[in-house]
Structures are given as structure tokens and as C-alpha cells.
Amino acid sequence: MSTYTPDHPTLGYVELERRNAALAAENQALRAQVEDARRLLEDQALVEQERHLNEERFQQMFDCSPIGLAIVSLEGGFVRVNRALAGMLGYTPDELLQLRFQDITHADDLEIDLELLGKTLRGEIPRYQLKKRFIHRSGAIVDVLLHVALVRDANGAPVHFMSQLLDMTEQKRAYEALRTSEERLRQLSTPLVPIREDVVAMPLIGAIDPARADRVLEVLLTGISGGRVRVAILDVTGVVDLDEQVAGALVRTAHAVRLLGAQMVLSGIRAEVARTLVEIGADLSGIVTCANLQAAITYALRLSRSGAAQEAGVTSHGNAQRG
């Protein structure tokens, strides 16, 4: 029995080693590919987890924000709203999603809002801010400060609008109440008190600055402009201080009153005020001065009765002539 012996046995071993080395290299490459795939999957999982966390954070911030937030479509429809906005406008979030912002915007504010929206879409402005009025579900007016920004995709194409709405209703009411209070204070600071139909008095108390002096002039001239006032009393008994500028303004007021045909009476001029009037060389010609308000009123009533009697005499004389 014969046994086969290769002619070159060493060549078989070399080939085997070469093949083993090739298989080992291929196996190593496959392991590297598997490891790369595993890492890629892990990275994708981390990215997805981070994206999910970011969405949750955004959702929490969006829903819990104390100001109204809305994602608005390019056509104006509400895509997503938070509870603050829904409560501000008197709707549920689901009800708002059935509406467009145009449906609940005050008619007088819609044109400017749409104009700014168009400029944002055309890229003329990146965002805009606007004080506007919405219509509450109850029909009441809701004043808001609106901030709108356009969100674009990676290619720069418009996707939707992001709107923030701050309720200004209470602030506006407070501002209007403040204005009303200020107006009342201004009226109290320059009160024009009717003594009788043709006699008025303005008692001033406290400090007088140029703005208040201008208010005195305005109120007095308005009060006597109808032509029925014969005597106007300006009482400065309660004035604590009077500088040259204000003193001059009051004297000019007195002369302006005379130009409208009324007699001006200054009362309660204290020593300090008199000194200031002398120092500025105030022209008090034609202006009656009295020691106090009571004396001024007595004088004014006497003058008023005298004028009324004269008018009655003239009327009676005229009637007699006509007779």
C-alpha cells in the first residue's frame, strides 16, 4: 500500500498560514465594523434620548410659562397653545386650535398685524412687537403685548410663527387709574370754586412750581372765558414758597384775567410773597389785593352787586328811553 506525499510539502503549510492570516484580518475587520455599528447605534440612541428630553423640557416650559405662547401656522391658525394663552382669551386649548388669530383680533388692530406678518414672511424684518387687542370669548377686550418671530427650516424656508403674548389688561387699567388720579390731583391743586354765578375763587395751598403755575393760568382762563365771571380771586394764603419765576407767572395770570374783562383779586399775600413781588418789580396795577380770602370774597360780592345794579339801571334807562 502506497502513501501520497506532496512534492513540495512546505508550500501547503505556507498557503495554510496565508489563508489563516487572511481570515484573521477579515475577522478583525468584521469585529471593527460590528463595534462601529454598535457605537453608532449607541450614539443614535443618545441623540434620540437627548431629543426626547429636549422635547419634554420644551413641553414643560411651553405649558408652564406664565405668559401666553402659541405656535401659529403661516396662514394664521393656532397649531399649539399653552394654558396661559387659553385662559387669557377664555378658551380651552382645544378650542383655540380650531381658530385663527385673525378670528379673535380686534378689527382695528388686524391690518397692522397682518402688515408686519407679511414683512416678516418676506424677510424684511426678523421679528416684530406690537401692542394689540384680542377679543375674549366673553366679548371683552384683552390688551396684550405681542412678540412674533418666524421659524425657518434648515434650508431657510418658513415653517411657522412663534408668538409670545403678555397680558397688559391689568397694567392698562392701573395706568388709566393712575392718570385719573393724577388728573384729580391736578384739579385739587388748582381748584376753581364758584362763589356765585359771576364770582370764582382759586385757593392755592403748598408749593407752586412752574408747571402748577401754568395750570393755574389754564384753569382760570378756561373758567372765566364764558364772559359771565366778573371777579376772580386768587388766594395765596396757603402758599409755602414763591420764587421769582412763579411769582412772575402768577402776576401774568392776573393780567390775562383782566384782559378777559374780569377783575382780579389777590388775597393772603404774606410778607415773604410781598417781598418776592417787590424784588421782581411786579406790576400790580389794576389788581386788587386783600389781606385774606374772607376780605376778598366780601369785596367781590360787593363789586358783583354793584355791577348788577348798574346793569339794571342801564336796562331800566334804556327801557324808559324806548318808552
CA 169, CA 63: separation in Å to the nearest integer? 21
The predicted structure's pLDDT at residue 289: 86
β partners of residue 317: none
In total, the chain counts a number of residues equal to 323
List domains and CATH numbers for the chain: 65-173 (3.30.450.20), 187-309 (3.30.750.24)
Joined together, the cell numbers standing for residue 16 give 495554510
Per-residue confidence in pLDDT tens, the chain, 323 aa:
555 455 555 556 677 777 777 777 777 877 777 777 667 766 666 656 666 556 666 677 777 788 899 999 999 999 999 999 999 999 999 999 999 999 999 999 999 999 999 999 999 999 999 999 999 999 999 999 999 999 999 899 999 999 999 998 877 877 777 676 666 555 555 677 888 888 988 888 777 778 878 888 888 888 887 778 889 998 888 877 777 777 788 888 888 888 888 888 988 887 877 788 788 887 878 788 888 989 999 998 888 887 655 544 433 333 333 33
pLDDT digits (tens, 9 = 90+) for 73-120: 999 999 999 999 999 999 999 999 999 999 999 999 999 999 999 999
Per DSSP, the chain holds a count of helices (H) and strands (E) of: 9, 10
b/e code 263-300 from CB counts within 10 Å (16+ = b): bbbbbbbeeebeebbeeeebeeeebbbbeebeebbebb
Tens digit of each residue's pLDDT (9 = 90 or more) over 251-264: 888 888 888 888 88
Q: Is the whole-model pTM more than 0.75?
A: no
